[in-house]
Structure 1
């Protein structure tokens, strides 16, 4: 019986193998037919690549363009028209480039006649002029994998052209494989083609596989890529397997287009002031299929870990405005827009982006949805409202999104310091309460003094250049939670805020440990928490960029020390960069391990961060996360990581309350023993 079962099993395996073999052969055959034989290897692989990329609405392609990639919640595609003029990215039907660029399309134009051969290369600066007579030849123009997005115009004779009299008899084949045109594309004259008088007799075949055209496409000239006067006799065949949406060659899209994102981002660079974080303005407009503004669309911006950086609602003209604050080392953010239950998600590349300006247009009819619950009637649904019972507030933005930032000062201003960046060090974070319009209603801050590597005394202040007064609350506690200064609340004027409000007392009182010397035990100092409730909403731009204008006053010298980038000298130079362009204040993401006392971060023999100088030399464009790469642990103070700080706090709390914890543990153990004893007796 075992032999019979084994034989049957082997027969089943063999039959299955034969079936799979036939399916494989069929797929290979189809790949040649559908995707064209001019690129056989690609044709063979495409069916399998299609299986690997089921989601046609997304793309894994990356680009230097800020446009990024986009998807839709309904599975449809999202077109991205990049008007920033840089990049060639693609997603779904996505794609940038508003410039005239003849080099982005790889075009091969070859002619063969007996012993006479002329080749134009790949659309790069190669040309041939003269009279060519080709008999029984194939004239092949191949455009493989090209991408064009936005408004692209080529006029006249572009690269890779043959000029003169050309005669071709035989087969003329034009193959465009995988090309995509989005926006308005106009070709006049020749681009990677044959220009001049030409005649072609025989069969003329044009194949466009997998291509997608969105927008207006205009080509002047003869069939294929022959521009100028020409005649063609014989059979002419055009085969296309893509979608064309526009005024030229209309066909049914293979996938419904859910929306179009028009990108008008500001690309450039900000002045380098040793900044490791940046604040980027955000301006969006949301419209429907008829280009009418959509009111009440929700906009959420998050980082790649899902932390919310911004949240807003479109107003009656479809506009959403605000800012996001991110580390300069952050490469991408995600923008999600939802209207009537339909969501469009856009991953934005942040390289060189100094302003995000986009229009999101829905190309599908949005369903009429029931109004969501909005208890406080502020226009923000309760499901998205951080404060559903408070009509003045709707969202909370934490900066940084998690953890702390380290702020470090040198205190010898106006003289250059020793660049150990530890004279006065704090760990900080802020929270902003915003209303539905994205204006700031309340500002909170937590400021812990963690190091003092100087003989001078300092006090710590916050200055806000706003035009309204506020209510100011402040409380100071020790690391273990013991209250130093009870919560106090007072009214402050706009003038008070403009001059600066004090957050910490003298630095010799706010920390008992310097936390800057080798062998020292880390023991951080006092924690000040503040809240400012503005008398009326304040624009985020009025507050300034995080960490706002925080500064120290050096009691011994009477000097204020601010961050660079805020104040100028009479000659236009930065007031808070020294003669070597080194700052007296710097912000670093996370719980930064700053240099030991007396060690210059700029000197190779003393620094624990050799990438610091490389970052400075690049004006902040390279080595953006230098602070994460310690090259010499012996040169930096071992500040615990943020998780370690929490564990240390818990351990200190346990030590302080050891007797109470012991009693609780004994009680819990007795309760467990009693329950187990009862269970044992009941089972006996």
Structure 2
């Protein structure tokens, strides 16, 4: 009888202990897969989705990759064992940074109170390993390699962080890093520590510039001589987001690199969509080759920002513009989501009044309405009139085709594969 009474008492104690909340609060149900008495984090739950190319080949060399992460925090006891269940960050700052193998920053953002992070990054088509670093005060940081990340449509993972050695007890988790602007992002992670509306920067590309190269004989021939050097510009994009990951402003910097055509052109960037209004400031090169400033000016979408008014007088010169949004842009939940990088670069051929864009981009409708508004901007041989290269690029010599042996012979292999092979042709 005493034996059964003792067993009942033990069972009752176990039930009471199991019903007690975690000393760190915010416990998560469903189990984590951590063995009893383990000092090791459970294996990450990886549900990544591969990219599947379908539909017409449009010569894309810059692809969005969705980040869909859930981060669990694990306390440890005095013996160094993980305490179950894990808990959500709450008001603790859990920061996720994406970098290249050379540590060039691509993206930084902060997980929500429930430990989730949803974002998008934009990567070159040439496969490369990328690295996710997950950091939280009082926890051991993790650096996670994502092989050939651009080949994924979505990086979807659940992962854990372990309480750092020596940071035992609930007091160790109290947020304590300085945050001057009070936006919830500690200054050490905040790119704008004195601006509560700005916290993080998305760089496209991670290092250097994008290249946009045009053929300008639209309406007169096929894609000309396919040397893609009639006009070339470099540009880079920065999108600024707040603590919630919503975009509050963007900046584009451009340089006119070369013009080997007989025609002259206007060049700019079109932002097809965004919600509400924005304040535009631009520094541009006018028809005489002088640098001018304009703004701030209130604009609504679409906005067609002209950066070089005369390509022949702009080579070697730089221009830029900024858009500050009246309403922070949430691409995941908006009736008019902000256009994605690389946006819509364009030229307007002054001699023929033809607008030229990347394949299937929206035509000019505001500043210089195109005389060819219903075109796909691809010739009858399947060549594009504009080509984006996701890095700084050495263009073919005048009159020498892009796929010539001395230039980019794998361009043809890439084109004939529909973009599934030789993605690093450039």
Partner of 2:146: 348
Q: Is the 8 A contact 2:216 2:230 kept in 1?
A: yes
Work out which of the residue numbers 120, 125, 135 in structure 2 matches 1:338: 135
Partner of 1:581: 382
- In 1, distance between residues paired with 2:266 and 2:277? 23
- In 1, distance between residues paired with 2:362 and 2:283? 30
How far residue 346 of structure 1 moved from its aligned partner, in angstroms, is: 1.5
The answer to whether 1:493 aligns with 2:305 is no
Larger radius of gyration: 1
The answer to whether 1:594 aligns with 2:391 is no
How far residue 477 of structure 1 moved from its aligned partner, in angstroms, is: 6.4
Partner of 2:326: 535
Written as runs of structure 1 = structure 2, the 5 A alignment for 1:8-157 is: none
The answer to whether 1:300 aligns with 2:97 is yes
The answer to whether 1:377 aligns with 2:160 is no
Work out which of the residue numbers 211, 218, 225 in structure 2 matches 1:406: 211
Higher share in helix? 1
Partner of 1:222: none
In 2 relative to 1, CA 376–527 (structure 1 residues): closer, same or farther, beyond 3 Å?
A: same
- Structure 2 counterpart SS, 1:626: coil
- Structure 2 counterpart SS, 1:613: helix
In 2 relative to 1, CA 598–260 (structure 1 residues): closer, same or farther, beyond 3 Å?
A: same
- In 1, distance between residues paired with 2:362 and 2:280? 26
Q: Deviations over 1:623-650 (max 9, x none)?
A: 33222xxxxxxxxxxxxxxxxxxxxxxx
Q: Is the 8 A contact 1:407 1:585 kept in 2?
A: yes
Length, aligned pairs only: 356
TM-score, normalisation: structure 1? 0.48
- In 1, distance between residues paired with 2:150 and 2:178? 39
- In 1, distance between residues paired with 2:422 and 2:375? 24
Q: Deviations over 1:197-240 (max 9, x none)?
A: xxxxxxxxxxxxxxxxx96xxxxxxxxxxxxxxxxxxxxxxxxx
Bigger relative contact order (CA 8 A; separation at least 6):
2
- Structure 2 counterpart SS, 1:309: strand
- In 1, distance between residues paired with 2:242 and 2:295? 23
Partner of 1:507: 311
Written as runs of structure 1 = structure 2, the 5 A alignment for 1:417-566 is: 417=223, 418-464=225-271, 465-476=273-284, 484-494=290-300, 497-511=301-315, 525-540=316-331, 542-566=337-361
How far residue 530 of structure 1 moved from its aligned partner, in angstroms, is: 1.4
- Structure 2 counterpart SS, 1:543: coil
Q: Deviations over 1:152-179 (max 9, x none)?
A: xxxxxxxxxxxxxxxxxxxxxxxxxxxx
Q: Is the 8 A contact 1:323 1:540 kept in 2?
A: no
How far residue 505 of structure 1 moved from its aligned partner, in angstroms, is: 0.3
- In 2, distance between residues paired with 1:579 and 1:298? 48
How far residue 312 of structure 1 moved from its aligned partner, in angstroms, is: 1.0
How far residue 370 of structure 1 moved from its aligned partner, in angstroms, is: 4.0
Partner of 2:80: none
Partner of 1:284: 69
- In 2, distance between residues paired with 1:399 and 1:468? 24
TM-score, normalisation: structure 2? 0.75
The answer to whether 1:268 aligns with 2:66 is no
Written as runs of structure 1 = structure 2, the 5 A alignment for 1:636-651 is: none
How far residue 423 of structure 1 moved from its aligned partner, in angstroms, is: 1.1
- In 2, distance between residues paired with 1:268 and 1:276? 13
- In 2, distance between residues paired with 1:315 and 1:477? 42
Q: Quote the RMSD (CA, aligned, Å).
A: 2.9
- Note the residue ranges of structure 2 that are not aligned, 5 or more in a row: 1-31, 75-84, 364-373
Q: Is the 8 A contact 2:127 2:424 kept in 1?
A: no
- Structure 2 counterpart SS, 1:269: coil
How far residue 383 of structure 1 moved from its aligned partner, in angstroms, is: 0.6
- Structure 1 counterpart SS, 2:313: helix
Partner of 2:118: 321
